Chains A and B, each alone.
Chain A
Amino acid sequence: MSSEFEPTILAFVCNWCTYTAADLAGTSRMVQQPNLRLVRVMCTGMVDPKYIVKSLLSGADGVLVSGCHPGDCHYINGNYKARRRVKLLNEILPQFGIDRERVKLTWVGASEGNEFAETVNSFINEIRELGPMEARTMAAV
């Protein structure tokens, strides 16, 4: 059953760190599963909770938000703001049966292509295990 399900993952990655790491992972030909759609944003601090909510309601099985390590944010503190917002969603969404694991926040620095590939692969595996998002099968959302 779970072998038939291929999750769709949306990732909001910051221009300065994680996007660069994704680029590095690609140019270094690291093997990544093809389930991920990247959305490049200037900073994780601009990821409004409603982007994540909308993604999950519109067919994503998991959402990854990934930015610079603490202290490395190009805009000084955007990643700290992202952390509070993800924390907020972690409290709201599970109340409606949306597993906490479906919204993930990580820090991946610009030089960490390897870490990026591993993060992506393990997140995809995790969501594949978890199964599809309930919204996929609902007629009305």
Chain B
Amino acid sequence: MATTVKIQVENNNPVVAIQGFLRGLLEDESLGGVVVPVHLFDKGIPMPTLVTDPDQLSGADPLAPAFPMNSAKLLSRLTRGQSGERIAVVMRPCEIRAFVELVKLNQGSLDDVIIVGVDCMGAYDNTDYKTFVDDRDSFEATLAFQGQHGGANETAVNGVDIAPACKSCEFPAPTNADIVIGLAGADLHDAIPVMADSARGEALLNSLGLPNMEANGRDTVLESLVKVRIEHRDAMIEATQAVTGTLSDLSEYLSSCVNCYNCRVACPVCYCKECVFNTDVFEHKPWQYMGWAKRKGSLKLPTDTIFYHLTRMAHMSMACVGCGQCSNACPNDIPVMELFRTVAARTQKSFDYVPGRSLEESPPLSVFKEDEFQDTVSHMV
């Protein structure tokens, strides 16, 4: 049905081929810039970069298994208000889903954005990425990671594997994108299919004048990928439930939390403009600390750790897309992603809500119906 065009791959190098495709987008007069992960240094992690000069796309590496941050938050900055120009943004599926949630909260806009989604084979966390690259050239490492057959490559390299969030992610394929780069099932040494997934995407692809092709085998590869990941997710949820079933267990699970709030900063859907935990509400007085300590004989410092995490769960679990940036940002390697996804699985199910699924579905706590959740109300008389 939808237009599928072909990116021809030369010299077994799909990264250069996609750079060429992005150059084509940037040269199209309807677009003023492209946001894509770019290697700005020989070594190091590719960072999301707003590129306006096609020549500077030579460092672009949209296929690198690096995920320094969820770009939904960055795109929110780029689209709150007008820049006067339309941009294309290359995103992972979880980044798109997070951005859809932000758009619903009026913290971003899709009006002047073309979302280019890429089939996601996962990414290493920030420290593991360096181990993964080792002393190789960054682009060589990317090519080795993707392999020849999209979605079929072994991800455990140099003693590290992709992040647990990626291993348990059931959304390797982008949803709500305008254009989808279909890596899964493609022969990455031959040609990569690019699908239009919206009317805007369709119009843009047609204007590029690329030859058409079929995305053969993509669905089968995605299906088996999803199957493995769901198994992994379910095992992860079960294991997390087993060690957090009581308040004491939860406290032990979070015992190395230092209240740095990095998980909140890294979270793309922690949406408050000012977090209550940064306000005067938590500027406790010395006599308060003494009083709390005396009540039980001791007081753990910093205080309010469990309170913070439970509050965050109440705020973001409905919108949690499972991108794993919370775990990536935790300085003490607490498996917070596992915890938040476990809670989110239940809250999202209870409101029949899938974050990022549709722009039409309102965030559950922003709406209500008159006749619902009768079980929640007790009648004691």
Contact = CB atoms under 8 A, between A and B. Distances in A.
B273 interface: no
Contact of A138 (B247, B351, B369): B247
B153 interface: no
Contact of A53 (B245, B248, B311, B370): B311
A95 B346 contact: yes
Contacts of A105: 376-378
B173 to A, nearest CB: 28
A140 B305 CA distance: 9
A8 to B, nearest CB: 13
The 3 closest A-B pairs by CB, nearest first: A140-B300, A97-B246, A80-B368
Interface residues of A, number: 41
Contact of B376 (A70, A86, A118): A86
Interface stretch (B6-14, B86-94, B313-321): B313-321
Interface string B367-381: 011101100111111
A104 B342 CA distance: 24
A80 B367 CA distance: 9
B294 interface: no
Nearest to B310: A53
A133 B154 CA distance: 48
A77 to B, nearest CB: 7
Contacts of B307: 50, 53-54, 57, 141
A115 B380 CA distance: 8
B347 A91 contact: yes
A1 interface: no
A70 B370 contact: yes
Interface residues of B, number: 44
A105 B346 CA distance: 20
Interface in A87-141: 87-93, 95-98, 104-107, 114-115, 118-119, 122-123, 134-135, 138-141
A97 B370 CA distance: 30
B126 interface: no
9 contacts: A70-B370, A81-B368, A87-B351, A88-B364, A92-B343, A97-B249, A105-B378, A106-B379, A138-B247
Nearest to A133: B247
A71 B296 CA distance: 44
A70 to B, nearest CB: 6
A57 B370 CA distance: 31
A107 B247 contact: no
Contacts of A118: 380-381
Nearest to A94: B346
A53 to B, nearest CB: 5
Nearest to A126: B380
A74 interface: no
Interface in B306-347: 306-307, 310-311, 313-315, 317-318, 342-343, 346-347
A84 interface: yes
Interface string A67-80: 00011000001001
A85 interface: yes
A96 to B, nearest CB: 5
A84 B373 contact: yes
Given A57-B307, A95-B346, A135-B247, 14 more contacts: A50-B311, A53-B311, A70-B370, A71-B370, A87-B376, A88-B364, A92-B343, A97-B245, A97-B246, A118-B381, A119-B380, A123-B380, A139-B300, A141-B251
Interface string B236-280: 000001001111111100000000000000000000000010000
A141 to B, nearest CB: 5
B102 to A, nearest CB: 20
A134 B248 contact: yes
A50 B378 CA distance: 21
A34 interface: no
B361 to A, nearest CB: 14
A71 B314 CA distance: 26
B82 interface: no
